Amino acid sequence: MDRRRFLKVAGIAGLSLMAPIAVRDRAAVAGTNKYKGPYWIMVNAAGGWDATMLCDPKGGAAMNAMSVDQAYTPGMIGSVAGSPIKYAPLSYSSGSNLVMTAETFFNAHYKRLMVINGVDTETNNHDAGTCTMWSGQLSEPYPSFAAMTAAAVTTAQTVPLAYVSNGGYDQTGGLLSLTRIGGPQALENLAFTNAINPSDATQGSYHTPNTAARIQAVQLARTQALAAKETLPTVASSMNQLYLAHQANGGIAALGDELKGVQLVTTDDFPDLKGAGGLGDLTNLMQQAQLALLCFQAGVAVSANLNYGGFDTHSNNDQQQTRQLMVLLRGIDYLFNQIDAMGLTDQVYVVVGSDFSRTPYYNAGNGKDHWNITSMMFAGPKIPGNTVLGGTDDTFTSINVDPNTLKPSTAGERIQTTNVHIALRQLAGLTGGTTDIEFPLAGDTMPLFAG
């Protein structure tokens, strides 16, 4: 049974493999056909961020529960000079350490950013919101867009850890196996399972290269033979995932080499944050970004999920959202800077979104509840930067747009997550392909990324 047959028979088992488990040697890296892009990073702000405290600012009056925002007035709304991008005038400090201001972030990155405001998720349910934000469909088991981009590449090329995830919506629809990212030492151990000590090549290996190759061949043959006898969809799906993992061969060793000597980033690596307390979540977000980019640089991954929570603010909305949003922006700032430093600017796409947004008024606990209208941010080589599409009125209600020109139109339509994903699939070259046909989306094709 070949790989294409496995993909056809695969059901949805929910199985997630950490990494390929076949025996590998460093020598296997030679001649490895590394994947060279494009790459996709999905940044999930879990819980439902308040878009009016980010890139769709409104302002309001303090102590007024019916204001869209109490944290700032309309006259305080910030904007990038010569740009349509506006932002809420927020900042966050940890003790005496200034973590981030919205002004700093948007002025630094506006040239690469597209903002879409007024996106209608059609739900205020967390599960449905997360699903539609990252797949374009309100209910499972549609694969995430990141899974689809990775699967499209692996039909023609073996990419060992094609889809890596730190959480969020990462359903694969049975298209490929999912890899949960661990620390670099764990990945190195997996990359060189035949090495006695992956950190010390002088200690040798458990088997000779020829013996390791024979073990691997037997593993693959046995997996194929077992799968050929299976008729139960769930078991067949599991066998498919195991087959894909075994098939990756020595390619993951390239990642092991990339990780050699790498130290995980922490906030202490930045002079303005050194010694700041209470920023473990920022360190974690930066490390997620660091490992994803190392996977890309090694040519062993196509797409990655980064996940950062704390946005379900049913109480103390302004205080909590300010902190979480500024930490999120500092993490994305690190991501963008690393992309540039690694020479991947022309290869990496970044999509940032959340389950939905928060109500344009406050509840009795000075929090905000769930609201179906939200915003998204995008960056990448074919993303028209310094751009804002869509919008909302003063009551934080979506403004309809003409589906062809994207100009405001009372006779037009709301931009929905379905429209966004149809456009993303088109941008990624998935339109009309096997997975696009297998997992269709109903809606207009809007020229969101046409430039």
pLDDT in tens, 66-122: 999 999 999 999 999 999 999 999 999 999 999 999 999 999 999 999 999 999 999
Q: Of the candidates 238, 258, 278, which is a domain's last residue?
A: 258
Nearest to 342 by CA among 37, 7, 103, 94: 37
Record the tokens describing residue 331, joined without a space. Answer: 């993490």
Residues 302 and 238 in one domain: no
Torsion of CA 334, 388, 423, 310, to 10 degrees: 50
Confidence of residue 411 (pLDDT cuts 50, 70, 90): very high
According to the model, what pLDDT value does residue 274 have? 95
According to the model, what pLDDT value does residue 76 have? 98
Other beta carbons within 10 angstroms of residue 95's beta carbon come to 11
CA torsion through residues 303, 178, 262, 98, sign: positive
What percent of the chain is predicted at pLDDT more than 70? 83
User: Phi first, then psi: what are they for 408, rounded to 5°?
Assistant: -55, 135
User: Residue 74: what residue type?
Assistant: P
Q: Do residues 378 and 427 touch, judged by C-beta distance below 8 A?
A: no
CB within 8 A of 175, min separation 6: which ones? 7, 10, 143, 147, 148, 150, 151, 435
Cα separation of 52 and 87, whole Å? 8
What are 101's strand-pairing partners?
A: 91
Q: Using DSSP, how many helices (H) and how many strands (E) does the chain show?
A: 12, 14
Q: 241 or 163: whose pLDDT is higher?
A: 163
According to the model, what pLDDT value does residue 300 have? 93
Could you give the residue ranges of the DSSP H alpha helices within 2-59?
A: 3-9
pLDDT exceeds cutoff 80 at 339:
yes
Mean pLDDT calculated for residue range 122-126: 97
Residues 155 and 171 in one domain: yes
Other beta carbons within 10 angstroms of residue 395's beta carbon come to 10
Helix (H) or strand (E) segment spanning residue 308: strand 303-308
Q: Is residue 166 part of a domain?
A: yes
CA torsion through residues 57, 60, 66, 70, sign: positive
For the chain, what is the domain count? 2
Q: Is residue 24 part of a domain?
A: no
According to the model, what pLDDT value does residue 50 have? 98
Chain segment 9-20, per-residue pLDDT in tens: 333 222 233 333
Q: Is residue 218 part of a domain?
A: yes
Confidence of residue 197 (pLDDT cuts 50, 70, 90): confident
Q: Which of 29-38, 99-108, 128-137, 361-370 has the lowest mean pLDDT?
A: 29-38
User: Phi first, then psi: what are they for 172, rounded to 5°?
Assistant: -105, -10
Q: Is residue 280 part of a domain?
A: yes
According to the model, what pLDDT value does residue 206 have? 86
Q: CB burial class (10 A; 0-12, 13-18, 19+) of residue 399?
A: middle
Nearest to 425 by CA among 237, 130, 87, 146: 146
Residue labelled with tokens 């000597």: 261
Residues 216 and 342 in one domain: no
User: Phi first, then psi: what are they for 422, rounded to 5°?
Assistant: -60, -45
Cα separation of 348 and 277, whole Å? 31
Q: Is residue 388 part of a domain?
A: yes
Residues 204 and 325 in one domain: no
User: Phi first, then psi: what are they for 190, rounded to 5°?
Assistant: -70, -35
Residues 164 and 200 in one domain: no
Q: Is residue 295 part of a domain?
A: yes
Chain segment 390-401, per-residue pLDDT in tens: 999 999 999 999
pLDDT exceeds cutoff 50 at 1:
no
Residues 253 and 224 in one domain: yes
Residues 86 and 146 in one domain: yes
Mean pLDDT calculated for residue range 145-158: 95
What percent of the chain is predicted at pLDDT more than 90? 72
Q: Is residue 108 part of a domain?
A: yes
Q: Do residues 118 and 406 touch, judged by C-beta distance below 8 A?
A: no
Mean pLDDT calculated for residue range 345-355: 98
Cα separation of 322 and 311, whole Å? 10
Whole-Å CA distances, 168 to 39, 131, 244, 296, 388 = 18, 9, 23, 20, 26
Cα separation of 277 and 296, whole Å? 31
Provide the mean pLDDT of the chain: 87
According to the model, what pLDDT value does residue 235 have? 62
pLDDT exceeds cutoff 60 at 126:
yes
pLDDT exceeds cutoff 80 at 285:
yes
Residues 273 and 390 in one domain: yes
Q: 83 or 210: whose pLDDT is higher?
A: 83
Cα separation of 269 and 183, whole Å? 18
pLDDT exceeds cutoff 50 at 39:
yes
Residues 366 and 401 in one domain: yes
Helix (H) or strand (E) segment spanning residue 426: helix 417-427
pLDDT exceeds cutoff 90 at 6:
no
Question: Any idea what the CATH number is for the domain that residue 423 is in?
Answer: 3.40.720
Measure CA 147 to chain center.
10
According to the model, what pLDDT value does residue 191 have? 65
Nearest to 35 by CA among 174, 160, 184, 188: 160
Residues 104 and 3 in one domain: no
Chain segment 412-431, per-residue pLDDT in tens: 999 999 999 999 999 999 99
Cα separation of 115 and 79, whole Å? 13
Look up the domain containing 73 and give its range.
Answer: 33-183+264-438
Q: Of the candidates 258, 278, 295, which is a domain's last residue?
A: 258
Residues 167 and 128 in one domain: yes
Confidence of residue 261 (pLDDT cuts 50, 70, 90): confident
Q: Of the candidates 258, 282, 301, which is a domain's last residue?
A: 258
Residues 390 and 334 in one domain: yes
Q: Which of 100-104, 160-164, 251-255, 286-290 has the lowest mean pLDDT?
A: 251-255
Q: How far apart are the first and last CA of the chain?
A: 44
Q: Is residue 448 part of a domain?
A: no
